[in-house]
Amino acid sequence: MIDLSQSLYSSHSADMQSHNKIKTNQKVNTQVIMMNIKSLEQMERIVKRNKALSWDGWDVIQSYPNPTAWSQKNGAFVKGKWYSQKRFKINSNGWDIPDKLVR
């Protein structure tokens, strides 16, 4: 008598392993590329074009809605909603911001 359940299980297990490898490979390539913005005028244009960005003095703030931000260190309550925020401080070379924010 042939036991088909074992061969079906082996086939399914191999499929799941290859699926997991694909998922893992996708996550490996999530490197953030930073851009250095040296000009105040250029940074002002970037902030003006991106509604997720704002100014706090010389710092640029990126805000995105997050209902659990109330419990986070970088959480801020703005106009009745909770946001997570990232702060990009100016340094001696300008601002270093992720390239995806430059529009």
Q: Is residue 80 part of a domain?
A: yes
- pLDDT-derived band at 32, boundaries 50, 70, 90: confident
Range of the domain at 79: 34-101
Whether 93 is in a domain gets the answer yes
Q: Is residue 53 part of a domain?
A: yes
> Half-sphere exposure of 44 toward its Cβ, with a 13 Å CA cutoff?
4
Cα–Cα distance, 81 to 86 (Å, whole number): 16
d(CA 89, CA 97): 9
36-86 pLDDT tens trace: 999 999 999 999 999 999 999 999 999 999 999 999 999 999 999 999 999
Split into its structural domains, the chain has a count of: 1
Tokens (6 digits) for 99: 């390239």
Q: Answer whether 0.85 is exceeded by the pTM.
A: no
Is residue 71 domain-resident? yes
To the nearest whole percent, how much of the chain has pLDDT over 90?
Answer: 67
